[in-house]
C-alpha cells in the first residue's frame, strides 16, 4: 500500500470522535508508513484471537469476575511480553506490529496490548499519560496502576518514586499525572517518541512525516508547525520554511509561538512583524 493511501486512512481514523478512534488500527497505520508491506489485518487478528484465548479461560467483562492479576499475568507470563531494555531507543519499539512480533517494546506500545485486549474483553483498562513513562490503569472505581514496561503493580508511593527518577528529586506527583489519556494524546505521544529518535538521527523526511500526522491529530497546535518549519530549514527548503513561519504569525494566538516564528524569519533574513 502506498504512503499516501496509508496517510489518508490514518486521517480518516483520527477524524472520528476520540472515543471512536480505532487505536490499534491507527497505531498500525503509523508503523505502516515506515513498513509499507505491513499486513494490518494480521495484527488486528492477533489481538482478536489472543483476547478470545483469554476469554476461554477467564471470561470477559467485569461481571465475569476477571481479575486484574489474571490479565496482567496473561500478558507478561503466558504471552511473554516485556520491556525492551537492551534496545530501548530502537524506533521499531514504537511500532505495534514489531512489539507483537518480538513481544518487546517501550511502555506506551506495551500499554497498547493492555488497551487492545481490555477493549475486546470489555474491561475498564485505560492509558495514563504519566510524565516520561506511560502507565496503565485498571478499573474505574478501584483503580490499580500498572507499569506496562515491567508488568508491576504500582502504589502511589511507587508513582512518586518513579516521577522523581524521571523529573528529579524535587518533582511532586500531581493528580493530572494519573488522569486517563485520550486516544489522540496516546497517538501524539507515540509520534513524539518516533520524532525524537528521527530528529536525533537527522532523518528529516521521517521527522516531517511524524509532524504531519500530529497535525492531523491536533491541527491547532502551532508548535508542530514551528517544528515543520525547522525541518524544512534543515532540508534546505527555505521557501517552504518561510511560508510555514509566516502562516504561523497569521494564525497563532500564542505569543510565544509567534516570537519563535518571527525569530526564525529574522534568522533567515525575512523578518515579519509579529504585531497585528
pLDDT tens across the length of the chain (276 residues): 888 999 999 999 999 999 999 999 999 999 999 998 999 999 999 999 999 999 998 887 766 557 788 999 999 999 999 999 999 999 999 999 999 999 999 999 999 999 999 999 999 999 999 999 999 999 876 689 999 999 999 999 999 999 999 999 999 999 999 999 999 999 999 999 999 999 999 999 999 999 999 999 999 999 999 999 999 999 999 999 999 999 999 998 899 999 999 999 999 886 444 333
* Helix ranges, 74-150 (H): 96-102, 107-120
Q: What share of the chain is helix, strand, coil (3-state, %, to 5)?
A: 65, 5, 30
Nearest CA among 265, 201, 199 for reference residue 227: 199
Nearest CA among 149, 141, 78 for reference residue 112: 149
Q: Which residues pair with 152 in a beta bridge?
A: 147
Whole-number Å distance between alpha carbons of 111 and 193: 14
Parts of the chain belonging to CATH 1.25.40.10: 185-195+203-267
Whole-number Å distance between alpha carbons of 40 and 26: 10
Nearest CA among 175, 237, 181 for reference residue 205: 237
Pick the CATH number of 185-195+203-267 from 1.10.15.40, 1.25.40.10, 3.90.245.10, 2.40.50.840: 1.25.40.10
Whole-number Å distance between alpha carbons of 22 and 13: 7
pTM for the full predicted model: 0.93
pLDDT tens, position by position, 229-258: 999 999 999 999 999 999 999 998 899 999
pLDDT tens, position by position, 40-59: 999 999 999 999 999 998 88
Whole-number Å distance between alpha carbons of 270 and 141: 56
Whole-number Å distance between alpha carbons of 78 and 81: 8
State the cell numbers at 207.
Answer: 521527522
Per DSSP, the three-state class of 128 is strand
- Burial degree of 86 (CB within 10 A; 0-12, 13-18, 19+): exposed
Angle at which helices 3-14 and 23-34 pack, to 10 degrees? 160
* Pairing label, strands 144-147, 135-138: antiparallel
Whole-number Å distance between alpha carbons of 23 and 56: 24
Backbone angles phi, psi at 107, to 5 degrees: -50, -45
Amino acid at each position: 500500500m502506498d504512503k499516501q493511501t496509508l496517510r489518508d486512512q490514518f486521517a480518516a481514523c483520527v477524524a472520528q470522535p476520540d472515543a471512536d478512534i480505532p487505536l490499534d488500527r491507527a497505531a498500525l497505520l503509523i508503523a505502516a508508513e515506515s513498513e509499507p508491506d505491513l499486513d494490518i489485518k494480521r495484527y488486528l487478528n492477533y489481538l482478536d484471537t489472543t483476547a478470545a484465548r483469554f476469554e476461554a479461560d477467564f471470561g470477559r467483562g467485569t461481571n465475569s469476575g476477571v481479575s486484574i492479576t489474571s490479565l496482567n499475568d496473561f500478558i507478561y507470563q503466558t504471552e511473554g511480553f516485556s520491556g525492551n531494555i537492551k534496545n530501548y531507543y530502537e524506533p521499531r519499539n514504537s511500532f505495534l506490529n514489531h512489539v507483537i512480533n518480538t513481544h518487546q517494546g517501550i511502555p506506551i506500545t506495551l500499554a497498547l496490548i493492555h488497551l487492545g485486549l481490555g477493549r475486546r474483553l470489555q474491561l475498564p483498562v485505560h492509558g495514563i499519560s504519566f510524565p516520561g513513562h506511560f502507565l496503565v490503569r485498571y478499573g474505574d472505581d478501584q483503580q490499580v496502576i500498572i507499569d506496562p514496561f515491567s508488568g508491576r503493580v504500582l502504589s502511589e508511593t511507587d508513582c512518586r518514586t518513579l516521577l522523581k527518577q524521571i523529573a528529579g528529586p524535587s518533582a511532586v506527583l500531581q493528580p493530572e499525572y494519573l488522569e486517563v489519556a485520550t486516544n489522540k494524546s496516546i497517538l501524539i505521544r507515540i509520534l513524539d517518541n518516533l520524532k525524537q529518535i528521527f530528529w536525533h538521527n537527522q532523518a528529516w523526511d521521517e521527522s516531517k512525516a511524524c509532524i504531519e500526522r500530529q497535525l492531523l491529530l491536533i491541527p491547532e497546535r502551532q508548535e508542530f508547525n514551528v517544528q515543520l518549519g525547522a525541518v524544512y530549514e534543515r532540508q534546505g527548503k527555505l521557501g517552504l520554511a518561510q511560508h510555514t513561519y509566516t502562516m504561523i504569525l497569521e494564525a497563532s494566538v500564542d505569543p510565544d509561538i509567534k516570537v519563535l516564528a518571527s525569530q526564525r524569519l529574522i534568522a533567515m533574513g525575512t523578518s515579519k512583524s509579529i504585531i497585528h
